[in-house]
Amino acid sequence: MLTPYELLTFAARMKTNLDESFVRDRVERILTRLGLQNCKNTMVGGIFRKGLSGGEKKRTSIGYELITEPSLMILDEPTSGLDSHTSANIIQLMRTESYRGATIVATIH
C-alpha cells in the first residue's frame, strides 16, 4: 500500500549507497522519465483497494529496476494485460531506455 514515490525511494535506499539528497533526485528523475509525476503520491493499490492503472503499475515496476541504472534489463511480458495504447507506451519507454544505452531483452506474448 505504498505510492510510486515511496516504492522507488525504498528501492534506491536498498539497492544503492547514495545519500538522501541523491536518492530524492534519482527518484524524481525516474518518475519523470516514466511519466509518473501526476500519480507519484497515489497508492499503488491491489485486489482490495483501487489505486494506479495497469500501465502505471507496469511503469512503476520498471522504475523499480531502473533505480540502479542497469546496463541490461530483462523484462518478461511487460505488456501482458494491457490495452494496445498502454502497451505501445511501454514499448516506447523501453525504446527510450535503449537509446540511453541500456540493453533491453523482453518477451512479448
3-state secondary structure of 46: coil
Query: Which residues in the chain land under pLDDT 50?
Result: none
**Measuring CA to CA, which residue among 58, 62, 67 is closest to residue 22?**
67
pTM to 2 decimal places:
0.86
Q: What is the pLDDT of residue 77?
A: 92
Q: Residue 49: its pLDDT value, please?
A: 86
Q: Which ranges constitute the DSSP H helices of 36-83?
A: 54-66
Q: Say which CATH architecture domain 4-107 belongs to.
A: 3-Layer(aba) Sandwich (3.40)
pLDDT of residue 24: 95
